[in-house]
A and B are shown apart, each in its own frame.
Chain A
Amino acid sequence: MDIETIVKKLNLKVRCAAANLKKTVSGGYTGDLLSDVMAKSHEGDIWITRQVHQNIVAVASLKDHAGIILVNSCEPAPDTLERAIQENIPIMVSEMNAFELTGKIFHLLTTKD
């Protein structure tokens, strides 16, 4: 499944790198501790977090995440957005909390339709 499908199904707002939504999402990682994300997430994961500072772009880029979804209506900080544009990493925003959004994405990724 690509990011675009997830964006459409879950009504996410795309904040940057809108041209880069065809990437395949192979899994997910939910968490706000950057060291955990560095240690345990995988290439192709969609990362669900509420952190908004620019380090998230560095982490997503290093780990080759498919994209980042910010929960609880958190908006990326201006320098985060700037850096994500440079690195061409899609950042999306959801009004859902991490549990609910994770539940829905897990469902999409594990259900064959």
Chain B
Amino acid sequence: MKLREVKEILNAEVIVGEDKLDMEVKTAFGADLMSDVLAFAKAGSILLTGLTNDQVIRTADILDIAAIVLVRGKKANTETISLAKDLKIPIMTTKYILFETAGRLYAKGMVGCVEKVDNANARN
């Protein structure tokens, strides 16, 4: 699916990367904990998150995440937005909560970027 369709499905507002809406994205990862994103998310996925600080942008940069979707109407501050511009990472914001965001994208055929987490790595 193109980033443009993600935008339409989520009625999202593009904050950074209006010129990148024709980019193709196939998978998604939703999380508020960046260490989980680092552990499991894959290059080229979109990241759905309720966290809006610099660490989201840096995490996305490190993993070559295709784009960031901020959920439940959250906006990033100006410094964070300019960091995303510098690192050329598209950001959009949607009014939907993460539950609804993931649900709507999943219903349109977007899949998760990891299927299951092996029990061998189970925590504790």
Please give the residue numbers on chain A whose beta carbons come within 8 Å of chain B beta carbons, in ascending order: 27-33, 36, 40, 48, 50-52, 71-75, 77, 95-100, 102-107, 110
Q: Is A27 a contact of B119 with CB atoms below 8 Å?
A: no
A71: B residues at CB distance < 8 A: 117
Please give the residue numbers on chain B whose beta carbons come within 8 Å of chain A beta carbons, in ascending order: 28-33, 36, 40, 48, 50-51, 72, 97-100, 102-107, 110-119, 121-124
Q: Is B28 a contact of A99 with CB atoms below 8 Å?
A: yes
Q: Is B99 a contact of A106 with CB atoms below 8 Å?
A: yes
- Asked if A77 meets B124 with Cβ closer than 8 Å, knowing A30-B98, A103-B106, A106-B106, the reply is yes
- Asked if A72 meets B117 with Cβ closer than 8 Å, knowing A52-B124, A102-B103, the reply is yes
| Interface of A, helix, strand, loop or mixed by DSSP | mixed
Q: Is B33 a contact of A32 with CB atoms below 8 Å?
A: yes
The 10 lowest CB-CB distance pairs between A and B, nearest first, are A103-B106, A106-B103, A100-B112, A32-B32, A102-B102, A95-B116, A99-B112, A72-B117, A30-B98, A99-B30
- Asked if A36 meets B124 with Cβ closer than 8 Å, knowing A73-B117, A100-B111, the reply is no
